[in-house]
């Protein structure tokens, strides 16, 4: 049993499970509220335009250009007839509409009283503003551009379903490099679904490790047809890709913003195919040219070396090799003669030096002193007698002479009138005597070794008169 209207809560906040609003009351309040709402200008893309003959009201769907969101719009046929050109699906328009609620279905729609297609000049102005905004963020900077691989393992291709652009890219690429592989993602390239589908395809191909380059392509079209490829969301998605991107949208005169953010811009889909893969015929020709250049260089080197060897063989020194050796043989003989003379001269000088040293050694030897008539007086114990006081009378002495040794007995200091042993004659005169030696009587000495030539020069010598 419904609640009497007088007992219904006046506001939605006062409703409860015991005191609810009926649907008609909510519809009435929403209609009242929307009736007080002002009209608003909206921008969007026309999809599903429905216009039945004989009906004054036309129906269309106005879709947001960036996200999947739309409103149903009703517009009078006179408004559409007043347009300079017929309105078609995909047109970019601005509408002046007021929200209204259909109570029977409880659906919200927009009632438009004015509809204006967006002109080309206004679209270009908006695109220029977006271009400047993205350029200020550095999305079009040259240092962000990446070089394309020489020979990609897999080429990612984003294109329309069964489109001519797809055939152009695939056929021309395989004509240039038959072994090329493609990962093709067919998407909508115009209309309300173009932007989300292209963005999804780009992100999916960017996640495939084997895809080394991505080509985004579509054929030519009007400015409105190419607007999805100037969409801000699509441009930012392309800038975020790690894989190099080739943009091949439309023809040479077309310049969507995707061309500016892509790593390489191709004027046409055919040009894109030429840029992503090398031409096998051209590469084979380059290999053949390189081989010919290497062969020519090697042949020139061999010819130069052959001429050099021929010139060397024709030289006179090689025609008569003994002439060169003869000159060196004379030089060797001269060096040998000079060497022998130098060695002989050195040996002669050394022989003279040895002779002089021998004479000096002989002159300084004690044996030479003894040969001049001196004698070395020694005691029986071998000590050298240097003064008469060092021996006692009658002591046995050893006299070392140049011809041998004599034994003698000390007879006291020498006196000119000393008595000589019987049968001994006095000498006629005495030569110089450095020191007085003890008088001794001759006797045979005990056997002793001959005086050594190298006896030290420190011993006292006594001249013995013959």
Enumerate residues 6+ apart whose C-beta is below 8 A from 172: 269, 270, 273, 274
Task: Name the residue among 168, 196, 158, 187 with its Cα closest to residue 64.
Answer: 196
Between CA 446 and CA 299 the distance in angstroms is: 106
For the domain 5-118, what is the CATH superfamily, name and number?
Answer: Nucleic acid-binding proteins (2.40.50.140)
Q: Tell me, what's the pLDDT at 439?
A: 43
Tens digits of residue pLDDT in 141-164 = 999 999 999 999 999 999 988 888
CA of 66: how far to CAs of 298, 299, 307, 412, in Å?
A: 64, 67, 78, 154
Strands 154-160, 182-187: pairing kind: parallel
Which residues share a beta bridge with 398? Answer: 378, 407
Domain ranges of the chain: 5-118, 123-277, 279-316, 361-414+428-466
Burial class (CB in 10 A: 0-12, 13-18, 19+), 216: buried
pLDDT of residue 297: 95
Report pLDDT for 417.
59
In angstroms, the Cα distances linking 226 to 123, 194, 287 are 11, 10, 42
* Domain 123-277 CATH assignment equals 3.30.300.130: no
pTM of the full structure: 0.48
Q: Who's near 338: CB < 8 A, 6+ residues apart?
A: none
C-beta atoms surrounding 90 within 10 Å? 17
| The pLDDT value given to residue 262 | 92
How much is the pLDDT for 328?
Answer: 80
Q: Could you state, in chain order, the average pLDDT of each consecutive group of 10 residues for the chain (466 residues)?
A: 64 84 82 82 84 86 78 88 79 86 80 81 75 90 91 92 90 91 91 87 93 91 80 91 91 83 90 91 92 95 92 76 76 91 93 90 78 84 85 86 86 67 49 42 42 40 36
Task: Count the helix, strand and coil residues of the chain and give each as a percent rounded to the nearest 5.
Answer: 40, 20, 40
Structure tokens at 24: 């008609």
d(CA 400, CA 124): 143
The residue with tokens 């200020």 is: 136
């Amino acid at each position: 049993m419904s609640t009497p209207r007088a007992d219904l809560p006046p506001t939605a906040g006062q409703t409860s499970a015991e005191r609810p609003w009926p649907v008609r009351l909510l519809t009435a309040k929403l209609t009242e509220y929307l009736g007080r709402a002002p009209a608003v200008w909206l921008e969007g893309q026309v999809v599903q335009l429905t216009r039945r003959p004989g009906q004054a009201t036309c129906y269309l769907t106005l879709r947001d250009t960036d996200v999947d969101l739309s409103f149903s719009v009703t517009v009078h046929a006179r408004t559409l007839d007043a347009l300079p050109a017929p309105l078609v699906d995909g047109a970019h328009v601005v509408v002046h509409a007021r929200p209204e609620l259909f109570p029977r279905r409880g659906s919200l729609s927009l009632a438009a009283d004015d509809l204006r297609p967006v002109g080309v000049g206004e679209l270009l102005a908006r695109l220029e503003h977006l271009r400047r905004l993205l350029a200020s963020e550095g999305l079009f900077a040259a240092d962000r551009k990446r070089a394309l691989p020489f020979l990609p393992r897999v080429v990612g291709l984003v294109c329309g379903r069964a489109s001519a652009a797809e055939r152009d890219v695939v056929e021309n690429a395989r004509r240039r490099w038959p072994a090329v592989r493609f990962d093709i993602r067919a998407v909508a390239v115009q209309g309300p679904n173009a932007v989300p589908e292209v963005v999804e395809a780009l992100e999916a191909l960017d996640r495939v490790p084997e895809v080394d380059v991505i080509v985004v392509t579509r054929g030519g079209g009007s400015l409105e047809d190419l607007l999805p490829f100037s969409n801000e969301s699509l441009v930012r998605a392309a800038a975020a890709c790690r894989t190099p991107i080739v943009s091949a949208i439309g023809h040479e005169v077309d310049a969507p913003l995707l061309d500016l953010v892509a790593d390489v811009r191709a004027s046409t889909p055919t040009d894109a195919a030429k840029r992503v893969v090398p031409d096998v015929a051209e590469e084979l020709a380059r290999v053949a040219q390189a081989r010919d250049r290497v062969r020519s260089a090697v042949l020139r080197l061999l010819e130069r070396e052959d001429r050099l060897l021929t010139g060397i063989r024709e030289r006179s020194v090689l025609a008569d090799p003994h002439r060169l050796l003869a000159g060196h043989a004379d030089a060797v003989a001269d060096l040998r003669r000079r060497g022998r003379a130098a060695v002989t001269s050195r040996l002669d000088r050394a022989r003279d030096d040895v002779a002089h040293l021998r004479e000096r050694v002989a002159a300084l030897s004690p044996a030479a002193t003894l040969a001049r008539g001196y004698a070395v007086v020694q005691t029986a114990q071998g000590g050298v007698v240097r003064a008469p006081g060092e021996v006692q009378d009658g002591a046995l002495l050893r006299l070392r002479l140049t011809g041998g040794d004599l034994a003698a007995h000390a007879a006291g200091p020498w006196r000119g009138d000393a008595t000589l042993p019987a049968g001994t004659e006095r000498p006629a005169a005495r030569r110089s005597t450095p020191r007085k030696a003890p008088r001794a009587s001759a006797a045979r000495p005990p056997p002793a070794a001959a005086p050594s030539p190298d006896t030290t020069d420190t011993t006292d010598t006594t001249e013995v008169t013959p």
